[in-house]
Amino acid sequence: MSRQRLDTEQVLQAALALADEGLDQATFARLAQVLGVRAPSLYNHVNGRAALLRLITLRGLDDLADAIATAAAGRSGEDGVRAVAHAYRDYARAHPGAYEATLAAPDPADAELRAAAERLLELLGAILRAWKLDDEQTIDAIRVLRSGLHGFVALERGGAFAMARDVDASFEGLVDTVVAGLEAGSATVARNPQRLEQP
């Protein structure tokens, strides 16, 4: 094998490309083959496969959060949700490996990963403020939004949408449904303002 100088970013970029074929493809053996090096030399940059998957996850969280922040900039309420929904879907389709890595809750002991995950959740929470939801409703709304978007992109990637209906139109229908649910939740708070009071 030819020797070449590598840095951690080059290793990560190659790993991200492999992950897009499936996270199980991001192995040291495959990575070494792609980079034209011996597998043991990868330990100069990444301390094992678990550490490699952690880097993929961290990059995925950061990049997805950046995409959402860019989409949400200057927007709020329904406009913000629609922009974020499209940014989320676009990222998941363009970077399926890194996206898949972001789905699991981070190890509570890993401060860097936890902070990256919290930033993503805070961005999602920020676009929901227009509906004046209480804390519990905000958590519910974030979960509903993520579940709906993830379910759609997972089914789309899996080739599950075979019926004679434009997939983009169905995605807009999903976002419409989420927005309608947020409106309903906001109306509940308006009718019961005591829910916003702190105990």
pLDDT in tens, 165-191: 999 999 999 999 999 999 887 666 555
Full domain range(s) for residue 63:
53-193
- Is pLDDT of 106 > 70? yes
Kindly state the average pLDDT of the residues 89-116: 95
98 and 62 in a single domain? The answer is: yes
Last residue of a domain, one of 12, 30, 47: 47
4 and 64 in a single domain? The answer is: no
- pLDDT at residue 188 in the model: 61
- Is pLDDT of 93 > 90? yes
> Using CA atoms, how far apart are residues 60 and 157, in angstroms rounded to an integer?
17
Q: Is residue 199 part of a domain?
A: no
Q: What is the pLDDT of residues 7-29, one digit of tens each?
A: 999 999 999 999 999 999 999 99
CATH of residue 113's domain is 1.10.357.10
The total number of structural domains that make up the chain: 2
Q: What is the overall mean pLDDT for the chain?
A: 91
26-35, 49-58, 166-175, 186-195, range with the lowest pLDDT: 186-195
187 and 167 in a single domain? The answer is: yes
Q: Is residue 68 part of a domain?
A: yes
91 and 154 in a single domain? The answer is: yes
Kindly state the average pLDDT of the residues 66-80: 94
C-beta neighbour count of 71 within 10 angstroms: 21
Name the nearest CA neighbour of 37 among 79, 61, 2, 11. Answer: 2
Q: Is residue 148 part of a domain?
A: yes
- pLDDT at residue 76 in the model: 85
